[in-house]
Amino acid sequence: CQLTITHSNGPQVSMIHKAMTELRRVYIDYTPAPMSVCSAMSQGYVGYDIQNALRSELLGRGISRPVSTILTQVTVDPYDEAFYAPTKKPGKGFLRVVAAPKPIDIVEIDAIRALADADQIVIACGGGGIPVILQNHNLKGASAVIEKDAIAGKLAAELRADVLLILTGVPSVYTGFGTDHQAPISRMNAEEARAHIQGGEFEATTMLPKIEAAISYLESNPQGTV
């Protein structure tokens, strides 16, 4: 199988942002790292760990496959409504709240596709991708983060993947989650998913982004499976 992996980076980007902010307080001449740079650092950091762990596991099973991490930028709209109502909270304790705009284009998609077509395992769009704003021919980092599930759905659609597989900390998608009427959903089509969204079945910051990503992927690739 051709395998392309993306991942979250919430704890890591928060740790890097806090570290860089504290460094600026101690050494006044240092320039604090913007959120986009912290996202880039976390992509390299998490990608490095996944890349080496996966390579070792494959070799241990007698499988020789190249594994590559692609530093990935994702364009966003500077007038996205998310910039006017930031909701994303990196880290714990004292929090910085940032915008989570919708992804528009994956800048390095051709490189990702070329590596995937060359039978390499690719790690890309980590943490939702580095959010950038296109200004003439320049890509400027945005003070924002991109929802990891949204970019997973878009990446799968762009690659025309047969399967979008989302790993979670719960065994199933549920209706009535956390209530006495909780019931697992074993199968669901896009229309049924939209009905459940309208009914408020999915929590806004946990399961809802995953369901929305699945719907977006299926709209672009009706023959796909989630």
196 near 188, Cβ under 8 Å?
A: yes
Say if residue 202's pLDDT is above 70: yes
Say if residue 89's pLDDT is above 80: no
Say if residue 208's pLDDT is above 90: yes
What whole-number distance in Å separates Cα of residue 98 and Cα of residue 35? 9
pLDDT of residue 86: 86
pLDDT of residue 212: 95
pLDDT of residue 91: 63
Q: Which two tokens stand for residue 33?
A: 């790292």
pLDDT of residue 24: 83
Summarize the confidence of residues 170-176 as an average pLDDT. Answer: 93
| φ, ψ dihedrals at 79, nearest 5° | -105, 15
pLDDT of residue 93: 66
Q: What is the pLDDT of residues 143-172, one digit of tens each?
A: 999 999 999 999 999 999 999 999 988 999
What whole-number distance in Å separates Cα of residue 131 and Cα of residue 34? 11
pLDDT of residue 92: 65
Summarize the confidence of residues 14-28 as an average pLDDT. Answer: 87
Query: Rounded mean pLDDT of the chain?
Result: 92
User: Which burial class, exposed, middle or buried, applies to 43 when counting CB atoms under 10 A from its CB (0-12, 13-18, 19+)?
Assistant: buried
Summarize the confidence of residues 186-207 as an average pLDDT. Answer: 93
Beta bridge partner(s), residue 184: 174
78 near 142, Cβ under 8 Å?
A: yes
